[in-house]
Structure 1
Amino acid sequence: MAEVIFNKLCTIQNTSASSAGIAAVKNSKASKHSAFLVKENYGTDISSREAVQLTENMLKDSDLILTMTVYMREMLTASFPHLKNKIYSLNEYVGINGDITDPYGGDVAVYSKTFNDLKNSISLLLNKLQEDKSIL
C-alpha cells in the first residue's frame, strides 16, 4: 500500500518508492484488503503483485530507506551499519510518535486504518522532501 500511495501522491521529478520486505514470503501476493483499498482509492490493481525480498543492493541504491516500525529500522541498521544514515522509520522521519501498524490478518477496517495512517505519514514525507530536495 505504501508504495502505491507514495507513487500516486509524489510530484517530485525522478522520485519514486519501491517496497520490499525484511522477511518476504516467496510467491505471496498482496492481501485482498490491501488490493481492495488501493484499487478503490487509486484505481491501481495490486492483486497479483508478489512480495519482494529486501536486498543489500536495494538498500545501497536507495537515497532514503523508510521502515514501518522502529524495530525494523533497528534490524536494518544492525545488519547494515554502513547505511544507518539513510535508514529511518517513516513516522520518526516525519515527526510522528509510534509505528505504522501491520494490518496482516485483520479485517478491512484494520487495513483501512493502516491505509489512512500511511497516507497521512506519506503526505508529511512528501512535504518534507519538497522543502529539502537535498535529501534525494
Structure 2
Amino acid sequence: MKILFVCTGNTCRSCMAEAIFNSMCNIKGIEAFSAGASVIAESRTSLNSASVVKENLNVDISGRKAVQLTPFLVDTCDLVLTMTSYLSDMLRSHMEKSANKIYSLSEYIELEGDVTDPYGGSVEVYRQTYRDLEKRLEMLIKKLNEDRSI
C-alpha cells in the first residue's frame, strides 16, 4: 500500500509526515511518500523541518527536493492524505476519478482541525507541528491496523 501525504509546497508538513510515518509504521507493505500541490522549482525541505526530523528521528532529509503533485502520482497511490481540508476538497474536485481515495489526514482519522503550516516560523513552531503530526500519524497507524484486521 502506498500512502501519499500532500501539503502546499512539500517543504514542511508533508515531508515531515512522510519521514515520521515511515519510521513509525510497523505494518509490512505500507510505505509513505509526499508531494506538494504548488511546488516552487528546485525547492528543498525547509531547514527547520530537516532539523526537527533529525533531532527526533536521526534521519537526514535536508537534501530532499520537493515533489510536485501530479494526477499520475495520485493514481499510483492507494490513499492520499492532505494536511488541510481545503486541499483535500480542491484535489477531489480536480481529480474526480480518484476522489474516493483523497482525504484530509484529520478527516481520515476522525479528528478535528488541520495540520498547521509552520512555514516561516521558529524552530519551536516546527517542533509543535512535528508533535501534532506524530500524534495524528499514531492514530493513522492504529486505524490502518484495525482496518487490516477486519
TM-score normalised by L of structure 1: 0.96
Matched, 1:44 2:59: yes
How many residue pairs get aligned? The number is 135
Shift of residue 69 of structure 1? 0.1
The whole-number CA distance in structure 1 between the counterparts of 2:148 and 2:114 is: 25
The whole-number CA distance in structure 2 between the counterparts of 1:55 and 1:26 is: 14
Moved over 4 A (4+): none
Q: Equivalent residue for 1:100?
A: 115
Q: Equivalent residue for 1:110?
A: 125
Unmatched segments (≥5 aa) in structure 1: none
Please give the residue correspondences for 1:125-136 in structure 2 after superposition, counting only pairs within 5 Å: 125-133=140-148
Local SS of the residue matching 2:36 = coil
Q: Equivalent residue for 1:9?
A: 24
TM-score normalised by L of structure 2: 0.87
Q: Equivalent residue for 2:45?
A: 30
One-letter code of the match for 1:129?
Answer: L
One-letter code of the match for 1:75?
Answer: M
Q: Equivalent residue for 2:10?
A: none
Q: Percent identity over the alignment?
A: 50
Q: Equivalent residue for 2:138?
A: 123
The whole-number CA distance in structure 2 between the counterparts of 1:11 and 1:72 is: 28
Unmatched segments (≥5 aa) in structure 2: 1-15
